[in-house]
Amino acid sequence: MAERETWESRLGFILAAVGSAVGLGNIWGFPFQAGQNGGAAFLVVYLAVVFLIGFPAILMEFVVGRRSRRNPIDAFRELGHGAWAVAGIVGTFTAFWILSFYSVIGGWVLRYLGGSVTGAYFGDATGYFNAVATGPEAVALHAVFMLLVIGIVAFGVEDGIERSAKVMVPSIVVLLLGLGVWASTLANAGAGYEYYLSPDVDVIVNNIASILPSAVGQAFFTLSLGMGAMIAYSSYLGRDDSLPRDGGIIVIFNTLVGLLAGFVVFPILFNLGIEPGSGGSGTAFKTLGGAFGQIPSGELVGVVFFFVLLLAALSSAISLLEVVTSFAVENTSYSRPTVAVGVGALVFLLGVPSALYSDYLMWFNLLAYDLFLPAAVLLLALFIGWVYPSGAVDELTQGSGVSATFNTVWLWFVRIVIPAGILLTLVLGVQELLVVGGVLESAVFLG
């Protein structure tokens, strides 16, 4: 086996991890989840979940990755607990599974980027979406998106992932800020902010059963948890970094980008009197697409928006492919480029049904979001909290200088709060499953 790669710099790791976290989930999913779940009410619950469950959970993945310096499956063997590789297997499988439809949506984004230049979707945004979301062209664009992802991952950790993240992540932030400033000039932007930022306690209390599962699912998804991505990325770290500090930066950065996306989306919707979150994601493409058709300079705004979305989707997709690639590179004699192409081709095939039939995409997403992903995080929390606590705390301490109290509090969050949050979510989620309409709304950010 060739010598294992490492990040060139700490900043490179942080940018790559932020690139993984910031994706369709933030720019697309988050404002629409918020729209479907009462706006500011969702925001409050989501922020609490991100810091109380998401932050401790990302540290669990960092601990496993950096201590083992192995891919997310072999990591557990390396730590002396081979049976728990099941947690890594679930995560790696989920990465593979999610990438298959994430890439189909990446293909839609490519399509809409082109459509913004030509104005193709401006006249009849709904008809356009229905025409292009599935079918042979959707398959072709899914293939193009996968080729871009494979191209980056084939170059390796430092030359592919790190280098591309150093360009993509700052571009996302700058362009999104520009869009936010532009959106603030729209008439009725104030009503958008109000909806987004003024929580109504009654709405939270009355709807907690539907808000909480959505918020937990969104927090895991957006922080790239439960799919081995953060294990894989942290496995290329040196030992002298502070995991809590880097984790904190990544969580805060990712949250700010999600918030910023809301500052772009809600003023646009309120400007045109569109009900936020009506429908789901397909509707998201339709609603925003329709909005770009109606506002002044819509072409330019559309191009910038979908370009940002493309960068965000790419920098996330590469981390999903890296999970499976790192496992295959470390367990076969094939070179990284060969493995990236081979794994990428399999992911492409798995995604073909989602590119042909929207029901497949919906069910792929539903299963991943509601089942695989919480299961993987739960397994990891049980492992770290109850099987491997002293090794985990030892690793967390390396290079961090955090106090013993921090470690103890973290451990109890891992032992109790994360599993309780997931179990509660599963129970509430199942309750919702009983109401079929509710299932689709709560679990599918894409719809």
Question: Which spans of this chain sit near ligand PFF (rule: CB under 6 A)?
Answer: 20-21, 23-26, 95, 221-222, 224, 227, 229, 316, 319-320
Residue 95's alpha-carbon distances to 220, 229, 426, in angstroms, are: 13, 8, 20
Q: Which is nearer to ligand PFF, 377 or 396 (CB)?
A: 377
Least gap, CB of 248 to ligand PFF (angstroms): 17
Least gap, CB of 109 to ligand PFF (angstroms): 12
* First-to-final CA distance of the chain: 43
- Determine contact, residues 66/235, Cβ cutoff 8 Å: yes
Least gap, CB of 409 to ligand PFF (angstroms): 26
Q: What is the dihedral of CA 2, 4, 5, 7, to 10 degrees?
A: -170
In the structure encoding, which two tokens stand for residue 9, read together?
Answer: 């710099």
Q: Which is nearer to ligand PFF, 189 or 257 (CB)?
A: 257
Cα 189 to Cα 271: distance, rounded to the nearest angstrom: 6
CA-nearest of 11, 3, 2, 13 to 234 is: 13
In the structure encoding, which two tokens stand for residue 84, read together?
Answer: 């728990």
Least gap, CB of 151 to ligand PFF (angstroms): 18
- Determine contact, residues 313/65, Cβ cutoff 8 Å: no
Q: Which is nearer to ligand PFF, 26 or 281 (CB)?
A: 26
What residues contact 198, with CB distance under 8 A and at least 6 apart?
40
Least gap, CB of 270 to ligand PFF (angstroms): 24
Q: Which is nearer to ligand PFF, 24 or 149 (CB)?
A: 24
Least gap, CB of 323 to ligand PFF (angstroms): 7
Q: Which is nearer to ligand PFF, 23 or 298 (CB)?
A: 23
CA 219, chain centre distance (Å): 8
Cα 105 to Cα 268: distance, rounded to the nearest angstrom: 22
Least gap, CB of 366 to ligand PFF (angstroms): 15
Q: Which is nearer to ligand PFF, 139 or 320 (CB)?
A: 320
- How many CB atoms lie under 10 A from the CB of residue 335? 12
Q: Which is nearer to ligand PFF, 91 or 290 (CB)?
A: 91
Report which residue type is found at 383. F
